[in-house]
Amino acid sequence: MNGQSEAGFCAGRGDRAPIFIADAIIDSQIKKVNLENYKGKWVLLFFYPSDFTFV
């Protein structure tokens, strides 16, 4: 299955990240980030699902 399941993508060690566009906070502003712009470069991705929740 290569990281895919009914719940969605679940990365494992050595897996490549799927190409995606997401909102990110850069210089205190929300901007779009396109992973394809970093093709061929090393990129560190980390997520905090509940962090920065505007409640």
Digit-coded pLDDT (tens) for 1-40: 454 445 666 778 888 778 889 888 889 999 999 999 988 8
pTM metric for this prediction: 0.49
Domain assignment present for residue 21? The answer is: yes
Residue 46 lies in a domain: no
Residue that is written with structure tokens 């980030």 in the block: 33
Give the pLDDT of residue 34: 93
In the chain, the number of structural domains is 1
Q: Could you give the C-alpha distances from 45 to 6, 29, 35, 39, in angstroms and in order?
A: 22, 18, 10, 13
Is residue 55 in a domain? no
DSSP state of 48: -
The pLDDT, as a whole number, for residue 30 is: 93
Residue 13 lies in a domain: yes
28 in a domain, yes or no? yes
pLDDT at 12: 82
The encoded tokens of residue 38 equal 């970093």
Residue 10 lies in a domain: yes
Residue 29 within any structural domain of the chain:
yes
Q: Which domain holds residue 26?
A: 4-38
